[in-house]
Amino acid sequence: MNYQDFSKKELVDEVRKVTRELEEARDLLQAIRKGEIDAVVVSRVHGEQIYVLDDANITYRKMIEEMNEGALSFNQAGSVLYCNKAFAGLIGYDVDQVISKPVIDFIDSGFHEFFRQILVQKFPGPVKKSIKLLDKTGKHIPVMISLNNILIAEMDVFLMTITDEREKLYIKKLALHQLALEKLTSKLRAAKDKAEKAVNELKEKNIDYTILNEEYIHINKILAKTNKELMLSKQKAERSDMLKSAFIANMSHEIRTPLNSILGYTKMLLDSIDDEEQRKHIDVVIHSGQHLLHLIDDIVDLSILESGEMKIVETQVDLNDLMCKFKNQFHAYAINRGKQHLDFRLQLPGNGNDGPVIYADEFRLQQVLNNLLSNALKFTEKGFIAFGYKIINSGKDLMFFIRDTGPGILEADRMIIFNRFEQGRRPSGSVVSGTGLGLAIAKGLTDLLGGKIWLESEVGEGSTFYFTIPLKMVKTPDVTKQVKEKRLKTGIPRLAGKKILLSEDDLFSREMMIYILKKTGAELIIAIDGRETLDKFKENNVDLVLLDLRLPEIDGYEVLKEIRSARPETIVIAQTAYAMLDDIRKFKEVGFDDYLLKPVGDSELFTVLHKYLG
């Protein structure tokens, strides 16, 4: 029939006719399922054909309808033709809600492909398979299906019976539990028999169980008491370590604060005296104060190492940049100590191209290098000090070296100089000054970094110290760029037109900082507590804030929060006498741009000012 020749009205009439026929067919199927008719007349091309539902078929249909197992039929298009009450009840639907729906709507998606293959392919004989149905709530129901294909009225029909396997699975699980219980019972019986045998053997030996039991109870009491004492001792030791760390940190602060005034005012005094003899005396005071400061730092570091509380925090480190900074720094140190004639040589691998950027604890790596370079500078009077690094062990490790032309180290002393408080002797036999902590700290830090440290020396020729750390590369060196050794800016920065807010409550430290800062030509704004600092910050558009942390009224950390809230771009430098690593790392974490450790010297302060304002 060509519907393209139909008018709109004729199409509407045809649709209504087809709709009526579909409704009559659905009603007929429902009547057949309910047993309301006994025969169906089907029109064929060669006449009508009568299908009689005889008594046997009606009886069989009723048996299917009333049986406990589910029954289902569907056509080759996958649409459900029939289902019994058992199947509909299993999945939580009414029968009417299942008829004419796609069969896969009631089957778990994992088995959809299986049913699609069944519908498009002929299959020999019945098929049995475990699948999962989906009930009305979406819950999975494990079932066993038996599936067959028959021809009814020249139409392929699939017949499927469904058996609920939940009870079967539960019984299987119960059987496994029963088997496990029986095995456990058997083991318990064997253990009981063994225990009874042991008891009988003990009885045969006339052992007094009462005495044994009393001894057992007594021993348990002793153990309980000992455990309690150990726990108390552990808590006491932990508290002692905490108090020790707090004491050392506080003592470091309390010693550094007056040292700040002593060294600062002594340098101020030195600037005002021309008499050479008096200047020499003042130099002794300054040198002794600096020596005391280094001693404090060594004691703090050794204490943290011994407590096991020192932590490694790795960051990205530009290795060549770090080594260049050390060359500039120690060249300046040599000049200050009257050893400007020494030749400082930085030896980088390759042809001087940019070196690797690595992951390492930069602060701890600097400490090791600083201690070894300070040691070389201390003992070398002429010649050179060479230092650098190499990549070794097929790129797995970095090896640093510090070579000097000092007096060398006696063979008998080479094994002890890395021990705490142990010092070598000069080849001449004289005793070496110092505490003997620098190399011990260098060894402890190297061990903590995962490396090792050793030395080679020849008396009269000099010494070479080596240490390694694991190489953790961030990027490959770029051979197209040439390394340029950057010299740190030195001298007094010229800061005319700049405004610096100095916040310091200690009178002597404040006056000393004012004395140094006046040399720069910057405009100074002074505050002596946290509240005044915030007031003057709001009143003035300052370029940089030098902020003490232990301020009256409001401490430095709270002041920093207010500054960052008001003008986050302002440069804020922390000044503190707390030298513990955790304190130093905290400065960066909370938002300080940089920090100055007391006692603050001219060079340290000028370096920071050059960096941010120069």
According to DSSP, residue 401 is labeled: E
- Sequence-distant (6+) residues with CB within 8 A of 247 are none
Worst-scoring range by mean pLDDT, 39-48, 72-81, 537-546? Answer: 39-48
* Residue 19 pLDDT > 70: no
According to DSSP, residue 482 is labeled: B
Q: Which helix (H) or strand (E) holds 160?
A: strand 155-164
Task: Give the pLDDT score at 49.
Answer: 43
Dihedral pair phi/psi, residue 368, rounded to 5°: -65, -50
Worst-scoring range by mean pLDDT, 466-470, 477-481, 506-510? Answer: 477-481
* Residue 326 pLDDT > 90: no
Among 54-58, 286-290, 601-605, top mean pLDDT goes to 601-605
Tell me the one-letter amino acid at 7: S
Tell me which residue of 413, 300, 397, 317 sits closest to 360, measured CA to CA. 317
Q: Give 523's pLDDT tier (boundaries 50, 70, 90).
A: very high
What average pLDDT does the segment 500-508 reach?
Answer: 92
Task: Give the pLDDT score at 496.
Answer: 92
* Residue 22 pLDDT > 60: no
- Sequence-distant (6+) residues with CB within 8 A of 287 are none
Q: What is the distance between the alpha carbons of residues 229 and 235, in angstroms, rounded to a whole number?
A: 10
Residue 75's Cβ-side half-sphere holds a number of Cα atoms within 13 Å equal to: 10
* Residue 582 pLDDT > 80: no
Task: Give the pLDDT score at 383.
Answer: 93
Q: Give 257's pLDDT tier (boundaries 50, 70, 90).
A: confident
Task: Give the pLDDT score at 225.
Answer: 85
Task: Give the pLDDT score at 286.
Answer: 77
Between 321 and 247, name the one with better pLDDT. 321
- Sequence-distant (6+) residues with CB within 8 A of 423 are 417, 431, 432, 434, 436
What is the three-class DSSP state of 534?
A: helix
Tell me which residue of 406, 403, 372 sits closest to 386, measured CA to CA. 403
Among 51-55, 126-130, 569-573, 595-599, top mean pLDDT goes to 569-573
499-503/544-548 β-pairing: parallel
What pLDDT, in 10s, does the model give residues 124-148?
A: 567 888 999 999 999 999 999 888 8
Q: Give 369's pLDDT tier (boundaries 50, 70, 90).
A: very high
Sign of the CA dihedral running 591, 596, 597, 598: negative
| Predicted TM-score (pTM) of this structure | 0.48
CB atoms within 10 A of CB 379: 19
Q: What is the distance between the alpha carbons of residues 562 and 564, in angstroms, rounded to a whole number?
A: 6
Task: Give the pLDDT score at 453.
Answer: 94
Q: What is the distance between the alpha carbons of residues 329 and 366, in angstroms, rounded to a whole number?
A: 12
Rg over CA atoms, the chain: 46
Task: Give the pLDDT score at 213.
Answer: 73
Task: Give the pLDDT score at 476.
Answer: 53
Worst-scoring range by mean pLDDT, 18-27, 79-88, 242-251, 582-591? Answer: 18-27
Q: Which helix (H) or strand (E) holds 552?
A: none
Q: What is the distance between the alpha carbons of residues 579 and 573, in angstroms, rounded to a whole number?
A: 15
Chain-centroid distance of CA 371 in Å reads: 31
Q: Give 28's pLDDT tier (boundaries 50, 70, 90).
A: low
What average pLDDT does the segment 581-594 reach?
Answer: 78
Tell me which residue of 164, 175, 122, 156 sits closest to 140, measured CA to CA. 164
Task: Give the pLDDT score at 481.
Answer: 37
Task: Give the pLDDT score at 208.
Answer: 61
39-44/47-52 β-pairing: antiparallel
* Residue 244 pLDDT > 80: no
Task: Give the pLDDT score at 56.
Answer: 45
315-318/357-360 β-pairing: antiparallel
- Sequence-distant (6+) residues with CB within 8 A of 413 are 424, 425
Domains of the chain, earliest start first: 3-166 (3.30.450.20), 311-475 (3.30.565.10), 499-613 (3.40.50.2300)
β-bridge partners, 469? 398
Sheet with 70-75, side-by-side order of all strands: 80-83, 70-75, 155-164, 140-152, 127-134
Between 373 and 17, name the one with better pLDDT. 373
Task: Give the pLDDT score at 482.
Answer: 36
Tell me the one-letter amino acid at 244: K
Task: Give the pLDDT score at 12.
Answer: 67
What average pLDDT does the segment 382-387 reach?
Answer: 93
Task: Give the pLDDT score at 451.
Answer: 94
Q: How many percent of the chain have pLDDT more than 90?
A: 27
According to DSSP, residue 487 is labeled: P
- DSSP, residue by residue, 340-386: TTSEEEEE-STTSB---EEEE-HHHHHHHHHHHHHHHHHH--SSEEE
What pLDDT, in 10s, does the model give residues 404-448?
A: 999 998 887 887 888 876 665 555 554 455 566 788 888 989 998
Whether the Cβ atoms of residue 360 and residue 469 lie closer than 8 Å to each other: yes
Among 28-32, 90-94, 184-188, 264-268, top mean pLDDT goes to 90-94
Task: Give the pLDDT score at 477.
Answer: 45
Q: What is the distance between the alpha carbons of residues 252 and 18, in angstroms, rounded to a whole number?
A: 99
- Sequence-distant (6+) residues with CB within 8 A of 37 are 28, 31, 53
* Residue 508 pLDDT > 60: yes
Ranges assigned E (strand) in 168-314 = none
Q: What is the distance between the alpha carbons of residues 176 and 172, in angstroms, rounded to a whole number?
A: 6
What average pLDDT does the segment 322-349 reach?
Answer: 86
Ranges assigned E (strand) in 471-548 = 473-475, 499-503, 523-527, 544-548
What pLDDT, in 10s, does the model give residues 43-74?
A: 444 444 444 444 445 555 666 777 778 888 88
Between 202 and 94, name the one with better pLDDT. 94
Q: Which helix (H) or strand (E) holds 553?
A: none
Q: What is the distance between the alpha carbons of residues 406 and 424, in angstroms, rounded to a whole number?
A: 14
What is the three-class DSSP state of 202?
A: helix
What pLDDT, in 10s, does the model give residues 219-241?
A: 888 888 888 888 887 787 667 66
Tell me the one-letter amino acid at 110: G
According to DSSP, residue 38 is labeled: S
The two structure tokens encoding residue 585: 């790392």
Q: What is the distance between the alpha carbons of residues 268 and 261, in angstroms, rounded to a whole number?
A: 10
According to DSSP, residue 429 is labeled: S
Chain-centroid distance of CA 585 in Å reads: 18
* Distances, alpha carbon 19 to alpha carbons 16, 33, 40, 101, 106, in Å: 5, 21, 20, 18, 27
Tell me which residue of 81, 66, 86, 70 sits closest to 131, measured CA to CA. 70
Tell me which residue of 567, 575, 614 sits closest to 592, measured CA to CA. 575
The two structure tokens encoding residue 130: 């475990």
Worst-scoring range by mean pLDDT, 59-73, 297-311, 478-492, 599-613? Answer: 478-492
Whether the Cβ atoms of residue 128 and residue 145 lie closer than 8 Å to each other: yes
* Residue 260 pLDDT > 90: no
